[in-house]
Structure 1
């Protein structure tokens, strides 16, 4: 597997993941990213997309498969995923999905988790859940210690917020795990095809 996984940008992850669906040109990639509202996760700009495509091609994670022209439109180069590119996106998702210290990367890993099989996704999310639970326990201890010392509530506002967020995140991940385990919906790149 490529060492490129460590240098993969969020846009690069999204491009590789799109190409797991089949060959396409950057214009189609941008259309799909916008249609799927991926602008919630990263800034969508043509320049950024074309730069990511060029870097992925230089790293041999994607390859040109042809150039076509439709009417008066400019030529469009179509790209496909290489086997190394396929493994790189999966490796990136595997690395980021269980982590709790990089929220922006987690959101992208979650959006692309369908690139892993259901069983592996469940295992990685269980890892994440265990880390979240450990953090929730630490925060609860901090709050108890602060309360025992007589700390004023105004100084604990952030701790109380963090407890609420962790409680919500744990409840959400439990529901997601249940849905994945009970196979409440199709899973995988081509599951809906």
Structure 2
């Protein structure tokens, strides 16, 4: 189970991961986050960056080490990670790597109600998604190859993970498409019957009735 944290926004985790390298002011943090591609790893709202940084400082995870102004530029405060911040960063990382949390992707929600569409349309939609996922795999693979020339694999693992998950999704969708097209998907006849007649098959209606009575 996820631990309740003083600053629970995943953007805070990304900020801590940049400041652990060296002291930074928020403007530099934003540059590092973009440069490292962290905006692709965690949800980042750039307009909230200063608020997140201030909250981390408020809870003792960051501390101010310098503040100054250059010419007409706004004053910039430089922050350093504290021992408590280092401990939080390590503990949070351990949790993310080890704990299983239930997440509900939009695609899963679509699958749960796909029977409202007729089988042929679902097959077409899944084929479209397979094409998009295949394009995403190609793009991620190209990105990985480009980074691998200069960046150690240790810092590219999340891209490898993305590619592996996309490949697994594509393979599963292709298998489902084959079951529908080949007529081997359990419940396919009832599914077709519903769309051909507008009536719910008796066995499915009985199952729904029993579920309501439980």
Larger radius of gyration: 2
- The structure, 1 or 2, with the larger RCO (C-alpha pairs under 8 Å, 6+ apart) is 1
TM-score, length of structure 1 as denominator length: 0.49
Q: TM-score, normalised by structure 2?
A: 0.45
